Amino acid sequence: MAGIKSPAEQYIALLSSETVSDRIIEQYGLAEVYDEQYRSDVRKKLLKSVAFTAGKKDSLITIEVDDKDPARAAKMANSYVDQLRLISNSLALSEAQQRRKFFEDKLEETKAALTRAQIGLQGSGFNPGAIKAEPKAAAETYSKLRAEAVAAETRLQSLRATFADNSPEVRSQATVLASIQAELSKLESAQVPRSDSDYVGKYREFKYQETLFDLFAKQYELARVDEGREGGLIQVVDPAQIPDKPAKPKKVAVALFGLIAGMVLSSIFVVRRSRT
């Protein structure tokens, strides 16, 4: 899908965000270090002092920090990773995270609806014996199909948030939804006897919410398992160390020995997205 960024691009965007920059600025008192009065100017100087690059052949991200204090440079590089972990944990970046959050919200909504349906059923003086076997079975079948239709539609919405409409995943789920809706339409054409409408209606609603809750609970658990398999999205490969040599040789040295690469003062911190 057009516009979707790779995980590495997402992480670099987060690292460059004002939120992360401001936390680093506050943590290390960079307004005083850079001798700047305005926060916007401090941010500009900070971004000029850091570099975030992603490997073209892998998902490794390198964080480089230039600072006159080598120890502070190393600490700042490590702090960037800490802040990346914090902010990424508060967002749903991966497909599994998105699904888990999506179904977690649906589960909470359905739990509240199930409680209301149960209270309504109890308040009506409902007695399971008041429903004969055939109407009861029909009500349960209808409620189950109705819940499956909602769950299938919800699943389709979740997939569309990640995949294109013409993707196999979306097309397959759309077919499943259409099949369930067709069966549901057939059942809805049957009329409930007027004398049983109150009891059956409340019973239908209760069973519907109960079935829907179970279906969402299963989807939520599956998403949690998938999320767990991903492991930590951000793992340290090489922690930042205090450099033992300056990164930038004098200008004269650059002119004379331009082909010789200087040792990097910038503390390098590599992170990667763990593969399942």
> DSSP for 85-138?
HHHHHTS--SHHHHHHHHHHHHHHHHHHHHHHHHHHHHHTT--GGGS-HHHHHH
Residue 253 pLDDT level (bands cut at 50, 70, 90): very low
In a domain, 103, yes or no: yes
Q: How many domains does the chain have?
A: 2
27 has a pLDDT exceeding 80 = yes
Measured from the Cβ of residue 176, the count of other Cβ atoms closer than 10 Å reads 15
For residue 14, which of 75, 89, 84 has the smallest C-alpha distance?
A: 84
Of the listed ranges 1-5, 134-138, 161-165, the one predicted with least confidence: 1-5
User: 3-state class of 238 per DSSP?
Assistant: strand
Q: Are 71 and 132 within one domain?
A: no
Q: Are 129 and 212 within one domain?
A: yes
In a domain, 102, yes or no: yes
Across residues 179-188, what is the average pLDDT? 80
Question: What value does the mean pLDDT of the chain take?
Answer: 75
In a domain, 2, yes or no: no
205 within 8 A of 199, measured Cβ to Cβ: no
Amino acid at 262: G
Q: Are 26 and 112 within one domain?
A: no
Across residues 39-55, what is the average pLDDT? 92
Q: Are 78 and 123 within one domain?
A: no
Q: Are 105 and 123 within one domain?
A: yes
In a domain, 73, yes or no: yes
pTM of the prediction?
A: 0.47
- Highest mean pLDDT pick, 77-86, 96-105, 134-143, 237-246: 77-86
Sign, Cα dihedral of 187, 193, 196, 198: positive
CA pair distance 85, 218, nearest whole angstrom: 28
In a domain, 152, yes or no: yes
Question: What are the structure tokens assigned to 208, written together?
Answer: 């519907």
In a domain, 120, yes or no: yes
Question: What are the structure tokens assigned to 73, written together?
Answer: 């440079």
Give the whole-number percent of the chain exceeding pLDDT 70: 66
Q: Are 219 and 110 within one domain?
A: yes
Q: Are 43 and 151 within one domain?
A: no
Q: Are 106 and 172 within one domain?
A: yes
Q: Are 262 and 177 within one domain?
A: no
Measured from the Cβ of residue 214, the count of other Cβ atoms closer than 10 Å reads 15
- pLDDT at position 129 is 53
Range of the domain at 33: 7-92+233-272
Q: What letter would DSSP give residue 6? A: P
Please report the DSSP string for 13-76 in residue order: HHHTSHHHHHHHHHHHTHHHHTT-SSHHHHHHHHHHHEEEEE-SSSS-EEEEE--SSHHHHHHH
Which of the two residues, 254 and 175, has the higher pLDDT score? Answer: 175
- pLDDT at position 252 is 30
Q: Are 223 and 107 within one domain?
A: yes
CA pair distance 94, 183, nearest whole angstrom: 34
CA pair distance 22, 32, nearest whole angstrom: 14
Q: Are 218 and 144 within one domain?
A: yes
CA pair distance 205, 183, nearest whole angstrom: 18
Q: Are 119 and 103 within one domain?
A: yes
Q: Kindly report each contact of residues 52-58 with a partner whose C-beta sits within 8 Å and lies 24 or more positions away, as own/partner.
A: 52/12, 52/15, 52/16, 53/12, 54/6, 54/8, 54/9, 54/12, 55/8, 58/272
In a domain, 1, yes or no: no
